[in-house]
Amino acid sequence: MNGLAKNLIIWAVIAVVLMSIFNNFTPEAPQETRSITYSEFIRDVQGGRVDSVTIEGDKIEGRTIEGERFTTVNPDDTGLIGDLLQNNVEINAQEAAERSLLMSILISWFPILLLIAVWIYFMRQMQGGGAGGKGAMSFGKSKAKLMSEDQVKVTFGDVAGCDEAKDEVSELVDFLKDPSKFQKLGGQIPRGVLMVGSPGTGKTLLAKAIAGEAKVPFFSISGSDFVEMFVGVGASRVRDMFSEAKKHAPCIIFIDEIDAVGRQRGAGMGGGHDEREQTLNQLLVEMDGFEGTEGIIVIAATNRPDVLDPALLRPGRFDRQVVVPPPDVRGREQILKVHMKKTPLADDVKPQLIARGTPGFSGADLANLVNEAALFAARAGKRLVDMSDFERAKDKIMMGAERRSMVMSEDEKKLTAYHEAGHAIVGLTVPEHDPVYKVSIIPRGRALGVTMFLPEEDRYSHSKTRLQSQLASLFGGRLAEEIIFGSDKVTTGASNDIERATQIARNMVTKWGLSEKLGPLDYGEEEGHPFLGGQMGKSKPMSDDTARQIDAEVRQIIDTNYQHAKQILVDNIDALHAMARALMKYETIDDKQIEDIMAGREPRPPEDWDDESGGSGAKADDSGVPGSDAGSDESGDDNDRGLVGGPAPQP
């Protein structure tokens, strides 16, 4: 019975008691009885008009000779009986009714009892006894939301793109359904499972699927819900949560973003956070302390496993770490099919082509892609979502929303066209570079133009040749401006390109050991977390001569690839002019038109585009990392000349 039903019952009981008391004090008189004054009653008696009376205490009821009933009250008249006998009035006497002891007590104590009841009601409301348990004094209660086995509708069929992770947790479902299968062989199910993965990869969805498959209660809470301003609240909520879980065992406790409460203890600048540490201590005790937690499985999710306390990750607490990575091309296709079930699709929609054109997208990104495509179709008044809507949605997510209302002069558009053409031509010419997907001079986000590259396959490491090719393509835009308009006309639009190129070159020397002079040594900065006892931005010890060699080597790598890119543009000057003209004419060109330009042909118009590649720009079965990390100019409010899309190399 919930709190609302209890409150309704309490108020119904109070209403019944009030009505009973009211009826006791104000009894309803018969309709034929007439109330008269005592003086009128005496005159009727003396006039012989009264036939009989009934005396009950001070109350007198009587009947006249004509049969009319009346009632009156005796004001303690001692001569009344003599008057009645003298006038031959029939007298009936009854004993006055007395109230029961219980009724007398209830009447006398009712005001006090009512005040006590109201006080108890408001105290229960403040302590969380009302609906929802969110009273002002319920801060020590757990905020975990309980979902019964019938409320969790998510199953493994709703989770796609992480088959390995599903295999890891499938035995949890088997244990919750049939514990004896493991116990008879002496096996124990892990008490805790830590799900690690980037945001949007489906960690929470996978935890719900476990509860949905096992048909067990599911407690859900966030790590930030434990600690508040009151001392001891976090530990109290942990105790209360596990106490409630034991009542519903077997069950699952899911703690999202556990790094909010599970960070390392006793480290960091300015000391630790004592309240948070006490909460973590209580969580450690509850997960593997003296008291058993049989039948309770704790599933936690985080994208920062490196900051968690080692005691939390030891066997007996979080025994197992399940990595939920971004999906590959086959996983993306499966995820798209799941999200497309509720969307009316046209016959030309091919999830496989969309998956090939969305490298690096997480499950949340793909759900957003399907939603954006549906919105584009709805705005156009369509009844079905077709492939063009998915292409527009993909371009919006990967390259930013178009700013067609932005007015650009012809000179500005021309300079932007040459800038983007320079990026594309160098990227097409250098070895091991990702193929061009699309080039546009339509402003998107904070960029005045976009050159988008899509990788042909998933890549987990980068060769030296590939990194040098990326450096060359990054400088292609600036070099095109310099070659066509002169060095004094070079703009600030390449600021983001220069920043990315400098970072890649410095990482090649200091982190990745790709410098022949300095060799395979780590000269990078310490990456410790200052709030976890690590160092903050401190470089490794090195001599001044080594630092000068690093700067010189970085400069040499930049200069070499800068000159290489310049020579490529000089050798392909005709293609540079042709691509710039095509951009001025069409504003956006795709890989088919770029192929025509590089082959010396006139680029085909947009109406002659075919669907051979589905507009994805990818030419293999797998795709890699998106160019969403290309970034924009953070130095001010000026727009970047071009946003070069493509994967940033990872250490």
Phi, psi of 286 (to 5 degrees): -65, -35
Tokens of 508: 């090649």
- Of 402, 420, 481, 482, the active-site residue reads 420
CA distance linking residue 548 with residue 451, whole number of Å: 35
End-to-end C-alpha distance for the chain, whole angstroms: 57
Question: Is there a contact between 502 and 648 (Cβ–Cβ < 8 Å)?
Answer: no
Q: Which residues of 227-266 are buried (b: 16+ CB within 10 A; e: fewer)?
A: beeeeebbbbbbbbbbebbbebebbbbbbbbbbbbbbbbe
Q: How many CB atoms lie within 10 A of CB 410?
A: 8
Q: Which of 201, 197, 192, 221 is nearest to 303 (CA)?
A: 197
Phi, psi of 299 (to 5 degrees): -115, 125
CA distance linking residue 380 with residue 229, whole number of Å: 51
420 is catalytic: yes
The length of the chain is 651
CA distance linking residue 614 with residue 621, whole number of Å: 13
- The alpha-helical segments, DSSP class H, found in 430-543 are 464-474, 476-485, 495-510
Cβ burial, residue 346 (10 Å; 0-12/13-18/19+):
middle
CA distance linking residue 329 with residue 365, whole number of Å: 14
CA distance linking residue 484 with residue 414, whole number of Å: 10
Alpha-carbon torsion angle 374, 368, 397, 463, nearest 10: -130
H-helix or E-strand spanning residue 51: strand 50-56
Centroid of chain to Cα 589: 37
Please identify every residue annotated as catalytic.
420
